Amino acid sequence: MTGNSGFPKSLDISKAIDKAAGAEREVVGATRLGAQQQSTGKYGAWGDGITPTAPATDAAKRWAGWGTALKPAYESIILAMKPCDGTFAHNALTHGVAGLNVDGCRIDGIPPSVPQPEFRPNGEDSGHAFGAGVGRIAAISNNAKGRWPANVILDEDAGAMLDEQSGEVKLGGRHVTRNRSESYGGAWPAGAADYPNDTGGASRFFYSAKATKDDRNSGLSESNTHPTVKPTELMRYLCRLVTPPNGVILDPFCGSGSTGKAARRERFRFIGIELEAEYVEIARLRIGRTKPRRQTFF
């Protein structure tokens, strides 16, 4: 039994005791709608209506308020790889796999352009903590491709909360840097630096999966009954991050096929494995009716 994030649902121990004893519990309140009935169309919304009841046995009264799980406030994504066969370069040339597709997963938005002092090979400013000897001049943080992807992914609600806490940089805003004497032996300039084309809150530095209202049921004539449907856009991002061009994605727990949809959209080959026949059919329909993106790798 799992919740909408794939974590175990909390079992009401008091109810379980009464059920085992065959005792009928008294209804003490109106049935509250479950998440599925209240859903705004966001991914992962699920659950049946909850009817408040009172413990019927002394044992159930003793264990009232006890459960078996905490709220899943954070969902981890484990990124792992088989040890390299030599170096990453050798892996890339020999096996066609290596590293992460950074450019393919950069964060959208115009990056700030912050002028930096010249880094001189063995120059007078020997205190430069970063870039010494590189010889690059000015605007080294400017990258027109977008921001470097982070190891944290936000949903829309978390992104909005982060922006509320951080505040927003307005167009043409300024960022005050630390005094030169306080910054890594003088590696960074003092005073204010312009961010002429950069706006928004702190969430702009992170990828945020956008959940659409029709994502869960796309390609289906009836509602998707799988309890932990993942947003296709999130899975597209993760597929791009680790899969080389024309690579194969294996999902041993296919569920309702969100990863397969993502792989098809990104023009990757896909192998899905699922135990439940009901979900196999749902995945087949969702994946089969997904159109590949128009872009090609070459």
One-character DSSP codes across 214-248: TTTTTT-SS----TTPPPHHHHHHHHHHH--TT-E
Q: What is the pLDDT of residue 63?
A: 96
Same domain? 189 vs 244? no
Secondary structure class of 208 (helix, strand, coil): strand
The DSSP result for 239-278, as a single string, is HHHH--TT-EEEESS-TTSHHHHHHHHTT-EEEE--S-HH
In degrees and rounded to multiples of 5, residue 89 shows phi and psi of -60, -45
For 27-63, b/e burial (b = at least 16 CB within 10 A) is: eeeeeeeebeeebeebbbbbbeeeeebebbbeebeeb
Domain-located, residue 82 = no
* Amino acid, single-letter form, for residue 267: R
Q: Which of 209, 233, 259 finishes a domain?
A: 209
Same domain? 66 vs 116? no
Same domain? 4 vs 68? yes
Secondary structure class of 206 (helix, strand, coil): coil
Kindly state the helix (H) or strand (E) to which residue 154 belongs, with its residue range.
strand 153-155
pLDDT tens digits, 68-115? 988 777 788 899 988 999 999 999 999 988 999 999 999 876 654 444
- List the domain range (segments joined by +) for residue 276: 93-97+211-288
The domain total for the chain is 3
pLDDT tens digits, 213-258? 788 888 788 888 888 888 899 999 999 999 998 899 999 999 999 9
* Residue (of 123, 144, 146) closest to 134 by Cα position: 123
Domain-located, residue 284 = yes
In degrees and rounded to multiples of 5, residue 281 shows phi and psi of -65, -40
CB 287 within 8 A of CB 270: yes
Residue 161: is its pLDDT beyond 80? yes
